[in-house]
Amino acid sequence: MARSTKSGKDIEGKNQNKSRKQSSPKKKDQGHHFRCLPKTVATMYNECLRKDAEKMALIEELGFGAFSHLPCYNLKQHMLKELVNIYDIHDNTIHSVHGYVEITTDKIGKALGLSCIGDPFDDKVSKNDLNDEDHAIFKMFQGKSQAELTILVKRTPVDTEANQNLFKRAFLIFIQKVFLLPTSSPNVTPKALPTLFGLENTRGRNWALHVHDFLLKEIMKAKLYNTKAVHECCYVMMIIYFHETHFGKNSREPEAQPPWIQFWTGENLLKRLHREQNYPTVSVFRFGNRLFVFVLFTFRFLHVLISGSGFFQNLVKTGLLRIAKDKLLKRNNDLKMGINLMRKYPYSSKYEQEFDSESE
C-alpha cells in the first residue's frame, strides 16, 4: 500500500497557522463602556476657544463657561462602572460605605454649572411642526459627525449675527455629542436636536433636568437589561459622589462653591482618584452585598437539606431570613416597575414622578 506523504510546503503552512493562533491575543471582556469624554471638551477649550475671546463670550452667554475646568485626560472606567453598579434606581441614590449620596437635578446643576430652573426641552422634534427657517436649521445639523461638528466650532467666524448663531448651534450639538448626551452613533442623534431652537433663551432652559432625564434612563437600562454601554454623562455622577463624600458632616474644610468641577480638577481630582484606586471604598461595599447574598443562599441550601430540624425554623421565626427575603422581593418588584415605566415613557422624566407615587 502506498503511504500518503505530505509535502514540505503543507507542513510549513500548518506550522504558520499554529503560530498565528498562538500569537493572536484573545479578546477580553472590557465590561461597561462609557462614552463621556471630558478630555475632548478640554482639548477644544485649550486649543481653540481660549484663544478667541469673542467665542468664549458667546459660550458664557450660553451658560457653558464652567466646562473650561474639565480635566484634559480621560478617566479610567473602573470608577464609573462601580458607581453604576451600586446605584439604586428606586431612590435615585448611590449606596456606598460613606453613606447615601442622592443624585438630583439641583446637584447636577451645581456640579456642572448648568441651569436647573426654567422650561425643559422637548423630547423630540417633529419636522411637520417646523417652519421653513427652522426646518433648514434642522436639516443642516441632522446626521453630522463629530469631526464635522469639531470643524464647525473651530473654523466658524463670529463676525456677523448669522455666524454667531451658527457657532452657538454647532457648539451646543458638539457639547452634547461628546459630553452631556454621548451616544455610540458616530452621527448626531435626534435627542440633541431640540436644543437648536430658541437660542435667545438657551441659558434659561432647564439643562440640568435634560441631562438628569437621559442619565437616569440610561442607568435604568443598564441595571434592568444588563447593557454594557452607558452612553450618558456619568462623569457628573462621579463629581457629585466625590463632592458629597469629601465635604460631609465631619469635614472641617469649607465646602467649595458651585460649579463643583472647578474644585474637582487638577490636583484635587488626581488625589481622589489615587485614593480610590488604592483604597477602593466602593468595591468593598459591593463585596459586602455579595457576601450577604452568599450567606443568604447558603442558609437556604442548608434549610432544604435539614428541613426536619427545628433550628432553621427558629431562625425564620426570629426574622433573619424573612427580612432578607422581603428585601430581595422588594428589589425585584422595583425592577419590574422600572421596566413598565420605561416602556410607557421612553423619552421623558414623567416615569420618575410616577415611580415615586407608585412606590409610596
Summarize pLDDT for 57-77 with one digit per residue, the tens.
999 999 999 999 998 877 777
pLDDT at 349 over 50: no
Q: Is residue 235 part of a domain?
A: yes
Q: State mean pLDDT over 25-47.
A: 71
pLDDT reported for residue 170: 94
Q: Is residue 185 part of a domain?
A: yes
6: alpha, beta or left? (left if phi > 0; alpha if psi -120 to 50)? beta
Q: Is residue 204 part of a domain?
A: yes
pLDDT reported for residue 360: 53
Q: Are residues 140 and 227 in the same domain?
A: yes
**Structural domain span for residue 179:** 33-279
pLDDT reported for residue 97: 76
pLDDT digits 0-9 by tens, 238-270? 999 999 988 887 778 888 899 999 999 888 888
Q: Is residue 4 part of a domain?
A: no
pLDDT reported for residue 318: 53
SS3 content of the chain, % helix, strand, coil (to 5): 65, 5, 30
Q: Is residue 5 part of a domain?
A: no
Q: Are residues 238 and 313 in the same domain?
A: no
Q: For 87-133, give the DSSP string.
A: EETTTTEEEETTEEEE--HHHHHHHHT---SSPPPPS---GGG--HH
Of all residues in the chain, what percent carry a pLDDT higher than 70?
A: 68
Whose cell is 451646543? That residue is: 172
Q: State mean pLDDT over 188-203.
A: 86
Nearest of 179, 177, 181 to residue 141 by alpha carbon:
177
The 10 Å Cβ neighbour count of residue 293 is: 12
pLDDT reported for residue 206: 92
Q: Are residues 202 and 217 in the same domain?
A: yes
pLDDT reported for residue 188: 87
Of all residues in the chain, what percent carry a pLDDT higher than 90?
A: 26
Q: Are residues 255 and 305 in the same domain?
A: no
* Domain final residue, candidates 222, 250, 279: 279
Q: Is residue 25 part of a domain?
A: no
* Domain final residue, candidates 279, 294, 323: 279
Q: Is residue 8 part of a domain?
A: no
Nearest of 93, 97, 100, 83 to residue 284 by alpha carbon:
97
Strand partners for 101: 94
Nearest of 32, 35, 31 to residue 214 by alpha carbon:
35
264: alpha, beta or left? (left if phi > 0; alpha if psi -120 to 50)? beta
Q: State mean pLDDT over 221-237.
A: 84
The DSSP symbol for 28 reads P
Q: Are residues 232 and 258 in the same domain?
A: yes
Q: Decide: 62 and 203 in contact? Cβ < 8 Å.
A: yes
Locate 318 and state its grid cell: 426570629
Q: Decide: 83 and 245 in contact? Cβ < 8 Å.
A: no
Q: Lowest mean pLDDT: which of 26-35, 147-156, 185-194, 202-211?
A: 26-35
pTM above 0.75, yes or no: no
Q: Are residues 114 and 166 in the same domain?
A: yes
Range with top average pLDDT, 113-127, 230-244, 300-314, 325-339: 230-244
Q: Are residues 153 and 301 in the same domain?
A: no
Confidence class for position 207, pLDDT limits 50, 70, 90: very high
Q: Are residues 275 and 307 in the same domain?
A: no
Q: Are residues 131 and 165 in the same domain?
A: yes
Give the Cα separation of 285 and 214 in Å (integer).
26
pLDDT reported for residue 297: 61
> Sheet holding 87-88: strands in order across?
87-88, 93-96, 99-102
pLDDT at 273 over 70: yes
The DSSP symbol for 193 reads G
How does the average pLDDT of the chain come out, rounded?
A: 76
Q: Are residues 275 and 301 in the same domain?
A: no
Q: State mean pLDDT over 187-202.
A: 86
Q: Are residues 61 and 81 in the same domain?
A: yes
Range with top average pLDDT, 51-65, 191-205, 222-236: 51-65
Q: State mean pLDDT over 155-171.
A: 93
- Total domains, the chain: 2
Q: Is residue 292 part of a domain?
A: yes
Q: State mean pLDDT over 4-21.
A: 47
* Domain final residue, candidates 279, 310, 328: 279
Q: Which residues lie below 8 Å from residue 94, measured CB to CB, with a gap of 6+?
A: 83, 86, 87, 88, 100, 101, 102, 103, 237, 241
pLDDT reported for residue 239: 93
pLDDT reported for residue 67: 93
pLDDT reported for residue 277: 73
pLDDT reported for residue 330: 62
Residue that wins the pLDDT comparison between 125 and 301: 125
Range with top average pLDDT, 75-79, 197-201, 293-297: 197-201
Q: Are residues 191 and 313 in the same domain?
A: no
